A and B are shown apart, each in its own frame.
Chain A
Amino acid sequence: MTAAIEFQKVRLVAPHGKCLLDDISFAVEEGTTTAVLGRSGSGKTTLLRTVNRMAEPTSGDVVLRGKSVREADPVTLRRSIGYVIQETGLFPHMTVQRNVGLVLEAKGMPRRERMLRSQDLLNAVGLEARTFGKRYPHQLSGGQRQRVGLSRALAAEPKILLMDEPFGALDPLTRTEMQDMLRELLARMHRTVLLVTHDLNEALYLGDRVVLLHEGKLAADLQPEDFLRSRQPEVEAYVRAFHRGELSAAAEKRA
């Protein structure tokens, strides 16, 4: 079976000479979620952007269902891939409904059809379309904005969803709500997801697999249950940093 996304020796050197991605190879199976973990500057966002040709690899290739992205027209390719970023991604001058239907609008779908579709999508992410459709992004809470962003990404029924720290700007409780919503939605919709995050918890909760990037290199590619047990130094360091608060609180209790 061909993978939904396959990175083949992807290498990307920035114009100023810094190597952002160094020989990255791994495959993402259809319908699974892969969490891409790593600290800031490790290249996770750049890796994500090679999938929809927002970034072009210097060498190597990204292959979607057996077809190189290089062969695809960027505009068509991008319309067929959902894209979610932190809450800044909604257009402030458009209503929620128009934001959701924007890809469909770009594709030339008639207005009525588009509106009905965005209403369905809003309802699917738990936002009452009649209440929220006519509002503007600034009138929503952070969590609501993120729901809108997600429904917008799903509008064109993409097989692949790229998510770049989608819940990064949210408080921990809202974030867990969003994670639950996303997990439930994905279980129903069967999409291939590449999720960039620096939150280990999120990676373990949502990922069928966890990939760790370290300074542009692929440091680990593991099942969530193996990730915590790994003795690999980069993985251990990440896990240790994650458990720091817990360990410190436990130590204080003992003292």
Chain B
Amino acid sequence: MSEFLEQYGGQIFELTVEHLWLTGAAMLFATLIAVPLGMWLTRRPGWAKPVIGVANVLQTIPSLAMFGFLLPLPWLGERAARVAIVALTAYALLPILRNTYAGIRGIDPALVQVARAMGLTNVQRFLKVELPMAASLILAGLRTATVTCVGIATIAAAVGAGGLGELIFRGVASIDNELILAGAIPAALLALACDGVLGLLERRFRVPGYGSAA
């Protein structure tokens, strides 16, 4: 075991960092797209069904196929990391989008009315009432998306984007179970850690005594 760690420890660490960077960048993009989009949809509910439908379809594309589709595209295909980040972003959209939309739509309409009647501007109503009340559910979406992405990111190694999947693929190719585990165990731990941290954050933002978020 110690011998194994000596041989692969440095590599595992490097690949974990790479894995985190791929997932983190994708989550950042997905959040920047899906949270504002989800908010916008609450103002234009007619668009909600088609837009969430598109995100849903993206989710159903098999991940290996998704990486394959993106590879031949200009600019994107030049770097494997770009392909991986775009694909992961696409997978992360749905949970964040859906929860943002549901979180804001789920607020008691009487409270939104009161906020208006008290003379809060649209921006104030959004920042002081809607966003904090939906925060826990939005974070729950972020958590689901992150855990999914940490898993899918292992497949990014198939297009040469690196990450812990690299050890897994190498292990599979050389029929080396230890090597597979060297990639799989850290990936699983990473997913659990993200789940735990985001879970704490989600609870922190839960509105006391108001429904049951997520």
Contacts and interface: CB of A to CB of B under 8 A. Distances in A.
A54 B119 CA distance: 10
Interface of A: 49, 52, 54, 74-80, 83, 85, 88-89, 91-93, 102-103, 105-106, 136-139, 152
Interface residues of B, number: 21
Nearest to B124: A106
A93 B210 contact: yes
Contacts of B119: 74-80, 103, 106
Nearest to B206: A93
Contacts of A92: 133, 207-210
Contacts of B116: 54, 78
A85 B117 CA distance: 10
Interface of A is mostly: helix
Contact of B111 (A79, A88, A105): A88
B190 interface: no
Interface string B100-115: 0000000010110111
B208 A136 contact: yes
Contact of A75 (B121, B208, B210): B121
Contact of A85 (B114, B124, B207, B208): B114
Nearest to B205: A93
B130 to A, nearest CB: 11
Contacts of B79: none
Interface in B63-117: 108, 110-111, 113-117
B108 A88 contact: yes
A136 B207 CA distance: 10
B197 interface: no
A87 to B, nearest CB: 10
Contact of B209 (A52, A139, A152): A139
Contacts of B5: none
Contacts of B132: 93
Nearest to B110: A88
A83 B120 CA distance: 13
Interface string B108-148: 10110111111111001000110011000000000000000
6 contacts: A77-B119, A78-B116, A79-B119, A138-B210, A139-B209, A152-B118
Given A77-B119, A92-B209, A136-B209, 18 more contacts: A52-B117, A54-B113, A76-B119, A78-B117, A78-B118, A78-B119, A83-B114, A83-B117, A88-B108, A88-B111, A91-B111, A92-B207, A92-B210, A93-B132, A106-B120, A106-B121, A106-B128, A138-B208
